[in-house]
Amino acid sequence: MELGLKGNKVAILATDGVEQVELVEPRKALDAAGAVTHLISPKPGTIQAVNHDEKGDELPVDRTLSEVRASDYDALLLPGGVKNPDTLRMDQQAVQFVREFMLAEKPVAAICHGPWLLVEAGAVSGRTLTSYPSLKTDIRNAGGQWVDHPVQIDDRLITSRKPDDIPAFSAAIVKQFAKGIEDRRIDEVGEQSFPASDPPPSPTAIGGEGAARSS
């Protein structure tokens, strides 16, 4: 796989009850694309993953929420499972972490019940996204438009419905994270070149169309 994310840092926010395949498989795709991925959780040590209603593996936590900031990362992945996002949306530090990614317009991907955190962060109004069908009403009540698609891309937000969609979801996040990170960097360069307080130079000043011509 082309290393389209080489050197970029991706945060994966999860806790006990995360659906194992929704974390592990997209993470493999991100790692294969060259990303540096960190599993971040409110608690240190390990988190208990699940495979539907059965216990899965214990997954090692790389960083705790108290140790990181959204500004440390280029993109965010929110896996599902019912208990995982339901617990995290009651944790104000976790909700704020998600909110800061969205406010900074960084790429964010969420699958299955993961969009619950987007709802809690007040980040779905005016957005079109998908999720596990039981979140449909929550998303609509929060001002979002819910669609029943395997993968939905709304600017730098990528969402998906369920484990069956993981192959398409993983491919989409690798592509869209790389594009979103690059686009955001271009935006930042433009903002630094032309601060809001300074008007952009005229065509004459930059030698573009309409520049002065010598006679």
Query: Beta-strand (E) ranges in the chain?
Result: 9-13, 36-41, 46-51, 54-60, 63-64, 75-78, 108-111, 128-129, 145-146, 151-154, 157-160
- Please name the amino acid found at residue 33: A
Distance CA 151, CA 165 (A): 7
Question: Could you tell me which residues are beta bridge partners of residue 37?
Answer: 10
Distance CA 210, CA 161 (A): 51
User: 212: exposed, middle or buried (C-beta count within 10 Å: 0-12, 13-18, 19+)?
Assistant: exposed
User: For residue 188, how many other CB atoms are within 10 A of its CB?
Assistant: 10
Reported as type and span, the H/E element at residue 155 is none
Task: Please confirm, yes or no, whether 149 is among the known catalytic residues.
Answer: no
Task: Please confirm, yes or no, whether 113 is among the known catalytic residues.
Answer: yes
Instruction: Name the catalytic one among 38, 52, 112, 149.
Output: 112
Residues with catalytic roles: 112-113
